Amino acid sequence: MFIYLQLFTHLYSWQPRWFVLEGGTLSYYDSQEDVWKGCKGSIRVCVCEIKGQAQMRKT
């Protein structure tokens, strides 16, 4: 699964990023063309609990 999103940087401006979800790991890259350079960061989502906005209000 590929996702194109924008991340908020420390300079208070949005930067486009390319996300790849593969094997339970969500990795991000500067762009789709830069995937060959390696990911900028990743998180194992298979061990995460993901809640929707309504669920977060209850806690």
Q: What are the tens digits of pLDDT across the range 43-57? A: 888 877 777 777 656
Query: How far apart, in Å, are the Cα atoms of 36 and each of 18, 22, 44?
Result: 12, 15, 20
- Which pLDDT score is estimated for 37? 93
- Which pLDDT score is estimated for 9? 53
Of the ranges 13-17, 30-34, 39-43, which one carries the lowest mean pLDDT score?
Answer: 13-17
The mean pLDDT of 25-44, rounded to a whole number, is 90
Query: pLDDT by residue (tens digit) across 5-22?
Result: 555 555 556 778 889 998
